Amino acid sequence: MPVRLPCDPAPCPRRDLPFTVADVALRLRDDLTSLPAYVAGRTVPGAVKLASNEMPQPPLPAVLDAIARAAAAGNRYPDIAVTTLTARLATELGVDEAQIAVGCGSVALCGQLVQAMCAPGDEVVFAWRSFEAYPIVTLVGHAKAVRVPLTDQHVHDLDAMLAAITPATRMVFVCNPNNPTGTAVTSDALRRFLAEVPDDVLVVLDEAYREFVTDAAVPDGLALLADHPNLVVLRTFSKAHRLAGLRVGYAVGPAELAAMLRSVSVPFAVSSVAQAAALAALDGLDELLADCAGAVSEVGRMTSSLRSLGFEVPPSQANFVWLPLGERSSEFAEHTLENKVVVRAFAGDGVRVSAGTPEEVDLFLAAAGSFPR
């Protein structure tokens, strides 16, 4: 359907232009009019932000130095092949360089995966509720989103997801631990699932929160790659590595798929500053992981305190907790905001609260304690 852009009623001051806004009839994509918006966690001056699953600490000092050095050469294009970081990741992860594709955050790789795998009308299966980018990248990639409800324990229903696979299915996202519920599927359950998924369906195991997992029953996706040629694992530098603002993530999977992900990428998608920061963060990994342990302990404290206040809180393996408050979700978020804490409400469903510093968590727990029930 041709869409006529709104006409500016004021006379056009640039009569030398070949056309005015009123003359333009662009054919925008009809199917994107229902595209859900990605709602970013709000930053409210004076309030604590526990809304985006970021780490509360800034990048490590050595990472800031690396950022400054890279920024000084910011007049030059970055290494388009992300050579040094890819080689370093290959060594750290014990995989072949050819198996890795680095992207502008793992969310960009989610989109590249759909582009690499799906023709118009193909189906992409994912749990719901899960990471809010999945339906967006699916629709933008001309594919059809198939949402499979979580169990009543807020965990992926892998049997139902298997049952949702049809001949049109090209991809299945499994978010482990799941954003926003924090729940995780076990190694046994995932292995059973992988054994049943048809060989020509790609399983995307999104492990954005891997560094916060403490339960040994939750699998490390990289260990499953050798047995499953239809598996790809997504990781990010945005959470444990504290580089959410710099945008680096990566996919590890079959070499042919990684090559395709690189070829559908926007050229130079990973800036030189991001590449340098990610490398320096890998040098400081022990220190970063120690702070992840701090976040895990705050998640434990939030979980037990909230439960003793009478809230339902599913067990979390990530750096956030989920409060399935249903219709009261937005009201809860408004209440914490009045108490200077920004959380992330999913209207009608639940509220996600990221671990902050102990002081920030104290502030949040005081706000939760005064929520009228």
Q: Tokens 């979390």 map to which residue?
A: 316
Pick the closest to residue 122 from 101, 98, 136, 143 (CA basis).
143
Q: How far apart are CA 145 and CA 129, in angstroms?
A: 13
| Cβ nearer to ligand PLP, comparing 1 with 139 | 139
Q: How far apart are CA 53 and CA 300, in angstroms?
A: 15
Q: Are 133 and 39 in contact (CB under 8 A)?
A: no
Torsion of CA 186, 189, 191, 197, to 10 degrees: -130
Closest distance to ligand PLP from the beta carbon of 183 (Å): 12
DSSP element (H, E) containing 65: helix 61-72
| Cβ nearer to ligand PLP, comparing 131 with 332 | 131
Closest distance to ligand PLP from the beta carbon of 325 (Å): 20
CB atoms within 10 A of CB 335: 17
| Cβ nearer to ligand PLP, comparing 206 with 211 | 206
| Cβ nearer to ligand PLP, comparing 107 with 292 | 107
| Cβ nearer to ligand PLP, comparing 168 with 244 | 244
Amino acid identity for residue 304 in this structure: S
CB atoms within 10 A of CB 10: 6
| Cβ nearer to ligand PLP, comparing 278 with 302 | 278
Strands, sheet with 344-346, edge to edge from the N-terminal-most edge strand: 320-323, 350-354, 344-346
Closest distance to ligand PLP from the beta carbon of 244 (Å): 6
Closest distance to ligand PLP from the beta carbon of 6 (Å): 33
| Cβ nearer to ligand PLP, comparing 179 with 183 | 179
| Cβ nearer to ligand PLP, comparing 67 with 227 | 67
- Alpha carbon 46 to chain centroid distance? 26
Closest distance to ligand PLP from the beta carbon of 84 (Å): 19
Amino acid identity for residue 295 in this structure: A
The token duo for 153 is: 């324990």
Q: Say how many CA atoms lie within 13 Å of 45 toward its Cβ.
A: 0
Q: How far apart are CA 172 and CA 111, in angstroms?
A: 13
Find the residue with minimal CB distance to ligand PLP: 105
Distances (CA, A) of 274 to 171, 239, 241, 262, 345: 29, 14, 12, 17, 30
DSSP-derived 3-state class of residue 56? coil
| Cβ nearer to ligand PLP, comparing 171 with 366 | 171
Residue numbers at the binding site for ligand PLP (CB under 6 A): 53, 105-107, 131, 175, 179, 206, 208, 236, 238, 244, 249
Closest distance to ligand PLP from the beta carbon of 176 (Å): 9
| Cβ nearer to ligand PLP, comparing 228 with 239 | 239
Backbone angles phi, psi at 216, to 5 degrees: -65, -15
Closest distance to ligand PLP from the beta carbon of 241 (Å): 10
Contacts of residue 47, Cβ cutoff 8 Å, sequence gap at least 6: 337, 340, 341, 342
